[in-house]
Amino acid sequence: MLATSAETDRCVVHGAAGTVVDPERFGVIGPPGLRREGTRPPRTPRGRAARTPDSVAPGRRTPPGTAGRQVTRAAVRALAYGRDRARRRVQAGQWAPHPGWRSFIDTGWRVLVDQAEALHRVDELVDAEDWRADKRHSWTQILRQLVCAMDWSTGLVTGLAAERLGVAGSRAPRTVSRVLAWARDVGLVVVVEAGASAEFLGSDQNRTPTYALVTNQPQPAVAQPLPPSRPSSVDESGDLPESLVGTKPLTGGTRNYPACQPVLDWPVFQIPDSPSERNTAAQCLLHRMGLDGPDSGRAPLWRARALLKPWWDAGMCVAGLLHALDHHPDRPTAHRGPVTENASDVLRIMGYRLKPWRGRLAELPARVTGHRGGYRKRQAERLEQLLDQAAGDAAPRHLPKVSNAQRAAREAVAEHLRALKASRDAGRA
């Protein structure tokens, strides 16, 4: 019981002996029956960078929820409509934030969308504090977990409970509340939508708060590529100009990148079986996608081999993988665009595009079907048999009639192939 004084037993909130006591005189929020009309309990603090009623530009309507608002029927209907809309968003299960969440961020602040910039902002603010080493480590881990839960398109953090943040920093949920309060005070976090219980919303589950990581620093400038330098003219004698005499073409005796990339002669319709064949097939795929040479760092070969091994074992070939990367099994006629366009991690994009084809390799077109073994050798043997039959007296019916010159040319080709086969057999013996 909250007594009004030490000499009396009257309760501040409920009163006593029929006497009604105003709780707000003592800084206590009373029950709805004793609360003055038109007042509401204070909301959860949104943060230093949140828009406040004082920061609203002149001539604009005061945002809802301010003190002193008259509770009318229209306001009651608006509150009921907002609660119903929030309940529908929670029941949809898509973590959809408030549609007007950007209006809660004050002018001069921008939302962080890039995780690298957000991590740098966290480290900068933590380094400015004079904390112990254990507190610095635990609070940094909690804030980093908050950054890792950011949405890649909007930068919002939704569906993140305090227990998960506490596990990241090995701290209790009450410490997580202190971390979020500090982040709001220093201007790192803005609560664009407060949490709500299932009883308040009338839904099956609670709603976690929605956070936005903000900064008042300007957008970092993007480095502009240098214009291509024009080659210097060469004297008629063939000597290099004086500006390039002291330039060494080799750094440490080795080239950074080879002058020309070898073209891998791997059959695109052959399914690799051995580790060496899988390695060569992976190099052929990266070469056809333009990820070799100077761009080899974007797709390391060891990661590509680990990513493609299950697909080689499932019976995919290079041609089939190229088709699967460009098309979706549910939309076979639509082209998905190049994989390497504006991609920071090309192999992760490749795994994302190949994921829908699991268990649906039978839907690949027949023209990209893979073949086991050396299908090129079988094609050469079949062509040789056809040429042998054409060279004979009785030509097969499915072959068209040819002139004497064409027959002589085919005989010459067949004779050349037989000579090559005889030389190979002699070398093997």
Domain containing residue 200: CATH number: 1.10.10
- Give the helix/strand (H/E) hosting 75: helix 73-92
Burial of 360 (0-12, 13-18, 19+ CB in 10 A): exposed
Rounded to the nearest 5 percent, the helix, strand and coil shares of the chain are: 45, 5, 50
CA distance 132 to 130: 7
Nearest CA-CA partner of 160 in 182, 191, 114: 191
Residues 347 and 413 in one domain: no
Question: Does 159 fall in a domain?
Answer: yes
Instruction: Report H helices in 173-317.
Output: 173-186, 198-201, 275-288, 301-313
* Token pair for 40: 């509401």
Share of the chain above pLDDT 70, in %: 71
Question: Does 239 fall in a domain?
Answer: no
Of 99-103, 277-281, 283-287, 417-421, least confident by mean pLDDT is 99-103
CA distance 57 to 47: 19
Residues 107 and 208 in one domain: yes
Residues 316 and 402 in one domain: no
pLDDT attached to residue 26 = 45
State whether the Cα torsion 392-394-398-400 is positive or negative: positive
CA–CA–CA angle 327, 328, 330 (5° rounding):
135
CA distance 158 to 209: 7
**pLDDT tens digits for range 182-206:** 999 999 999 988 888 888 888 888 8
Residues 190 and 113 in one domain: yes
Residues 207 and 174 in one domain: yes
Residues 111 and 179 in one domain: yes
Question: Does 56 fall in a domain?
Answer: no
pTM of the model: 0.42
Domain boundary among 215, 236, 257: 215
Give the number of domains in the chain: 4
Nearest CA-CA partner of 100 in 61, 128, 135, 72: 61
Residues 189 and 287 in one domain: no
Question: Does 175 fall in a domain?
Answer: yes
CA distance 202 to 88: 10
Q: Which DSSP string do the residues of 29-63 spell out, in sequence order?
A: ---TTTSPTT--PPPPP--TTB--GGGSPTTSPPP
Instruction: Tell me how far the alpha carbon of residue 242 is from its chain's centroid.
Output: 49
Question: Does 235 fall in a domain?
Answer: no
Nearest CA-CA partner of 305 in 329, 335, 285: 285
Domain boundary among 172, 190, 215: 215
Max CA pair span of the chain:
129
Residues 318 and 400 in one domain: no
Residues 285 and 191 in one domain: no
Helix axes 346-354, 301-313, angle to 10 degrees: 10
Residues 295 and 383 in one domain: no
Domain boundary among 167, 187, 215: 215
The torsion defined by the Cα of 152, 157, 163 and 165, in degrees rounded to 10, comes to 60
Nearest CA-CA partner of 86 in 105, 102, 100: 100
Task: Compute how many other C-beta atoms are within 10 angstroms of the C-beta atom of residue 289.
Answer: 19
Q: Which domain holds residue 358?
A: 275-368
SS3 150: coil
Of 212-226, 262-276, 387-401, 409-423, least confident by mean pLDDT is 387-401
In this model, does residue 220 exceed pLDDT 60? yes
**pLDDT tens digits for range 335-387:** 888 888 777 888 898 999 999 999 888 889 888 888 887 777 777 788 888 87
Task: Name the residue with higher pLDDT: 174 or 18.
Answer: 174
Share of the chain above pLDDT 90, in %: 19
Contact 343, 349 (CB under 8 A): yes
Residues 303 and 401 in one domain: no
Question: Does 93 fall in a domain?
Answer: no
Question: Does 246 fall in a domain?
Answer: no
Amino acid identity of residue 274, one-letter, is S
Question: Does 79 fall in a domain?
Answer: no
**pLDDT tens digits for range 126-170:** 999 989 999 999 999 999 999 998 888 888 998 888 888 999 989
Amino acid identity of residue 292, one-letter, is D
pLDDT attached to residue 141 = 93
Residues 341 and 399 in one domain: no
